[in-house]
Amino acid sequence: MTCGHIDGGFDMWPNKTVVGLFMLETSMTKNAEGAARDLTADVTALRQDVARLAETMSELVRDQTQAAAGRVSEAVGDARHKIASTAADAQNRVRAASGEIEASIERNPLMAVLVAFGIGMLFGMMSRSRG
């Protein structure tokens, strides 16, 4: 099929059109295949990034948990030491007060008997009012 005269010869437009369409289709197919490869590579890279992120988060949680456990253990040790120290101080004060009471009784035995008698009377009166 001839369509016209160009540069001294006849051109076959339908053949050029078919060749052009074939080249366009080939180019589009190559672009689509390239885009699919790029997408596959991007998805693979994203999966690797997510896996690394999950690993990093896991390490962070583990480190924070260990640090918190260390702080709690240290705080418990400090509290135990403070309680033991306070108990020892209280025990020393009771011993000192007991020694002072004994010395006071030895110096003033009559006063000690009168104080004990007064306390006994007070308890006795309180127990009568309840009964």
* Per-residue pLDDT tens listing for the chain (131 residues): 444 445 555 455 556 676 676 676 777 777 777 777 888 888 899 999 999 999 999 999 999 999 999 999 999 999 999 999 999 999 999 999 999 999 998 999 999 999 999 999 999 999 887 65
Report the alpha-carbon distance of residue 106 to residue 35 in Å, rounded: 105
* Count: domains in the chain: 1
- Which residue range(s) make up the domain with 49? 4-130
Who contacts 112 (Cβ-Cβ below 8 Å, separation ≥6)? Answer: 104, 105
